[in-house]
Amino acid sequence: MTSTAETRGHLFVLHGLIQNFDYDAVIVPTDRRFDITSSWPESVTGPHDAAEPSDWPRPFARSATKAPVWFISVADEQVLSDDELVRRVTDTLSEIADAELATTGSRELTRIAIPVLGIGRGGLGDQRGAILRSLLATLLSFTANNHIDVLLVASNRAVFSAAQHARRELARQGSPVWDLNDDEMDEARRLGGLAADGHLALFLGAGVSIAAGLPNWGDLLKKVGGDAGERPSDFKELGDLDKAEYLAVKMGADELNAKVRAAIGDPAKVAVAHALLAAMNCREAVTTNYDALYERAVEATERHRPTVLPWESVDPKREWLLKLHGDASRPETIVLTRRDFVLFDTKSKPAGALLQALLLTKHLLIIGASLNDDNVIRLAMEVDEYLVRSGLRTARGTFVDVSGKSARQELWTQQFHWLICDGASTSARARRMEILLDAVSACATADAPWVLDERFDGLLPEQDRAVTEKARSLLAATGSASGLIAPLRSALAKLKGHSGEWDRVRR
């Protein structure tokens, strides 16, 4: 993947909770009385009693604590017009840009987080479609003209789905929604289509969680090995597996795993990639990571937390996540040392077989991995050999590469589609990967739980509004129908965001 505008800002649309993300500034809605609703935790706003600007009420202002929190009034004495709301958003963004905030962590650009404003207590909820269209256009204009990324976070599935639809429409009309070339957008549509059809499975490597602030393997070993005492002069020449094995011998495997558990901790902030992958609604996922960040990201999308294999029973109503190398909350299961890897097949053969089954039956999207894990390589090569013998050898997945090294691609060309993210640094390449995933997520959001909700009519062309009005009337008419009409009622209810309504009626 070639970057066309390395430092141009990008608008990400995410399904989740703002407090779950890491950012450099945040915009929080309030009203002229500075009434901050209970849905906004102090981890986002800061202490409510200390945050109110001294000259409030006003259209917008930075927190009195000087934290990078900007409050915007979405409810004055009279309901705002959508034009006035957009004007306030534009002015707030300009002030944040002028503040020249430092970028935290290793991110390439500053990030501003913002919710979908005005559709709650702002009083513009009946105009959700029009507000979304105006807000997206405003944010796209801002990111196109500033070296700043914006995270538009929707906590509601219907709002998220409608925002994705609006972005796809803007892209079709020629707006520069994603800085991807035609080939890259074709890949995003292909992967998004596979996700929408239920044929995409995920493989998450360490690179996904590193973006959330967790250590890579080498840094993890440095962090946990401080109590191992003096080491041989050639210790640094050992590979990571042998370094881990040495530490396990010196400290004891149980103590080493306990230290790994402590080093991982219970991080609250998910990476943008976690949220983008979670929004794809994939039923199956595999990870070599020990943390619970993907589970947290899925749960924030109003879905059930995934079943974690092999320690929980598969539930047909829940997605599942296979933790191939163990779980930090179960330190005894962690796979880290040379011994753990050598004995992996003996102890965890069904887990490996499950990954191989996905390679045979699904299209596997591999994110944040390096394909230098001996176990994963062996499992993938066994599948490849099986397919060679059958005469049906085809690419079994797509590998998104942020390593900056193209040689490994030559080893796997026949097994995986390979997408190389260009960039001068690891952080630049990781950001390019996030933009690609953002496009995949938009293309994967095929459900439309907002189409029959009249509050979103502003997103529909005139000819479609006439159709949706008739469909709403038909949905109302099914209320007195027999159970024979249940499938029709259920399908229509899902398009109005009431997927569980018919089930409740039947009970």
How many angstroms separate the CA atoms of 456 and 471, rounded?
14
Please write the tens of the pLDDT for every residue from 57-83: 999 999 999 999 999 998 877 777 888
What was the pLDDT predicted at 123? 62
How many angstroms separate the CA atoms of 505 and 478, rounded?
12
What was the pLDDT predicted at 125? 59
What was the pLDDT predicted at 130? 86
What is the percent of the chain where pLDDT is above 70?
Answer: 95
What was the pLDDT predicted at 195? 97
What was the pLDDT predicted at 19? 95
Q: In this model, does residue 500 exceed pLDDT 90?
A: no
Q: In this model, does residue 490 exceed pLDDT 70?
A: yes
Please write the tens of the pLDDT for every residue from 190-200: 999 999 999 99
Mean pLDDT, range 478-499, rounded to an integer: 85
What was the pLDDT predicted at 481? 84
Lowest mean pLDDT across 129-133, 225-229, 245-249, 432-436: 225-229
Please write the tens of the pLDDT for every residue from 152-170: 999 999 999 999 999 999 9
Considering only residues 48 and 24, tell me which one the structure prediction assigns the higher pLDDT.
24
What was the pLDDT predicted at 420? 85
What was the pLDDT predicted at 269? 94
Concatenate the DSSP letters of all residues of 69-123 into one string. EEEEE---SSPPPHHHHHHHHHHHHHHHHHHTPPPPTT-SSEEEEEE--SSSTTS
- Characterize the bridge pairing of strands 60-62 and 284-287: unpaired
Please write the tens of the pLDDT for every residue from 398-433: 999 888 677 777 777 778 888 888 888 888 899 999
∠ CA(149), CA(151), CA(155), 5° rounding?
Answer: 175
Angle (deg, nearest 10), helices 253-264 and 217-224: 120
Reported as a pLDDT band with limits 50, 70 and 90, residue 11 is very high
The amino acid sitting at 189 is R
Mean pLDDT, range 227-241, rounded to an integer: 83
What was the pLDDT predicted at 306? 96
Superfamily of domain 195-213+270-444: TPP-binding domain (3.40.50.1220)
pTM: 0.91
How many angstroms separate the CA atoms of 122 and 51, rounded?
20
| CATH code for the domain defined by 11-179 | 3.40.220.10
Establish whether domains 11-179 and 195-213+270-444 are of one fold. no
Q: In this model, does residue 205 exceed pLDDT 70?
A: yes
With a CB cutoff of 8 Å and minimum separation 6, the contacts of 163 are 13, 116, 132, 136, 152, 154
CA separation, residue 392 to residues 125, 378, 380, 396, 410 (Å): 53, 19, 15, 11, 20
Q: In this model, does residue 503 exceed pLDDT 70?
A: no
Reported as a pLDDT band with limits 50, 70 and 90, residue 225 is confident
What is the percent of the chain where pLDDT is above 90?
Answer: 56
Q: In this model, does residue 1 exceed pLDDT 50?
A: no
Considering only residues 75 and 97, tell me which one the structure prediction assigns the higher pLDDT.
97
Reported as a pLDDT band with limits 50, 70 and 90, residue 121 is low
How many angstroms separate the CA atoms of 253 and 336, rounded?
10
Considering only residues 26 and 383, tell me which one the structure prediction assigns the higher pLDDT.
26
Residue spans per domain, the chain: 11-179, 195-213+270-444, 217-264, 461-506
Reported as a pLDDT band with limits 50, 70 and 90, residue 232 is confident
What was the pLDDT predicted at 201? 97
Mean pLDDT, range 216-239, rounded to an integer: 84
What was the pLDDT predicted at 395? 78
pLDDT averaged over the chain?
Answer: 89
